[in-house]
């Protein structure tokens, strides 16, 4: 083997990510690096078998999200301007999806805070689920931020069988996901 081939092989092996199985486990907040914990969800998978409380503390199983196309908006905390905007877009600019699909927001906020937010914002067309207890969703989805124990900003679209068909994890926490693209993708699944 020539020195050039050996050199190329060494470079190749040095560039393979050690934890390639867990996808991109880094995001930023205004350029500052943050680490995502766990194995990230992938298109083609189903949501983890986890129960999360809604605003009235009723436990909702994520595996039960079948029968309808589901748009899942994941936010760090509803008490931040970007999360508030993302949630208002989901509620008010969903292009009629609230009539035909299931709209869900998951955050680490307490259910009582989610209830207060929904009431003050006059949002009635979104199911709010809380990952406050032990961050089970965050761990199982790879969306839990190690540094602050909040959830990364993401949007997922599930088909009627509960399979993830669209997934965007926003690379910088201060930015919004492309909600229009997620809405269009959700609409395309309704004709299948």
The 10s digit of each residue's pLDDT in 50-101 is: 999 999 999 999 999 999 999 999 999 999 999 999 999 999 999 999 999 9
Q: Which residues are catalytic?
A: 83
pLDDT 10s digits, 98-111: 999 999 999 999 99
Residue 155, strand partner residues: 73, 168
The Cα 187–Cα 92 span in angstroms is 16
User: What's the mean pLDDT in 124-149?
Assistant: 96
Nearest Cα residue to 137 out of 48, 71, 55: 48
Phi and psi (nearest 5°) for 79? -85, 15
- Residue corresponding to tokens 């609230």: 98
Q: What confidence score (pLDDT) does residue 6 get?
A: 35
- Inform me whether the pLDDT recorded for 17 exceeds 90: no
**Whether CATH 3.30.70.3290 fits 23-189:** no
Domain range summary for the chain, segments of one domain joined by +: 23-189
**Mean pLDDT value of segment 167-173:** 95
Chain mean position to CA 72: 7
User: What's the rounded Cα separation, in Å, for the pair 169 and 155?
Assistant: 7
Q: What are phi and psi of 74, to 5 degrees?
A: -110, 125
- The widest CA-to-CA distance across the chain, in whole angstroms, is 70
Say what the pLDDT of residue 30 is: 87
**Closest among 34, 44, 40 to 143, alpha carbons compared:** 40
CA separation for the pair 109, 96 (Å, rounded): 27
What percentage of the chain carries pLDDT values higher than 70? Answer: 88
Q: How far is CA 25 from CA 19, 102, 158, in A?
A: 9, 28, 22
Name, in order, each residue with C-beta under 8 angstroms of 58's C-beta and a sequence gap of 6 or more.
Answer: none
CA distances from 129 to 1, 3, 12, 61 (A): 58, 57, 43, 10
Report the pLDDT value the prediction gives residue 101, as an integer from 0 to 100: 97
């Amino acid at each position: 083997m020539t020195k050039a081939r050996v050199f190329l092989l060494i470079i190749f092996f040095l560039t393979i990510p050690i934890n390639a199985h867990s996808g991109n486990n880094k995001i930023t907040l205004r350029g500052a690096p943050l680490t995502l914990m766990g194995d990230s969800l992938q298109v083609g998978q189903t949501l983890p078998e986890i129960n999360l409380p809604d605003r009235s503390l009723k436990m909702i199983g994520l595996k039960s999200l079948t029968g309808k196309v589901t748009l899942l908006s994941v936010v760090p905390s509803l008490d931040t301007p970007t999360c508030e905007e993302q949630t208002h877009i989901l509620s008010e600019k969903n292009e009629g999806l609230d009539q035909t699909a299931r709209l869900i927001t998951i955050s680490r906020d307490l259910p009582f805070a989610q209830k207060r937010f929904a009431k003050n914002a006059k949002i009635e067309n979104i199911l709010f689920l809380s990952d406050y207890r032990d961050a089970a969703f965050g761990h199982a989805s790879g969306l839990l931020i190690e540094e602050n124990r909040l959830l990364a900003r993401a949007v997922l679209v599930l088909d009627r069988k509960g399979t993830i068909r669209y997934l965007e994890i926003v690379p910088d926490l201060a930015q919004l996901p492309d909600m229009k693209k997620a809405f269009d993708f959700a609409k395309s699944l309704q004709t299948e």
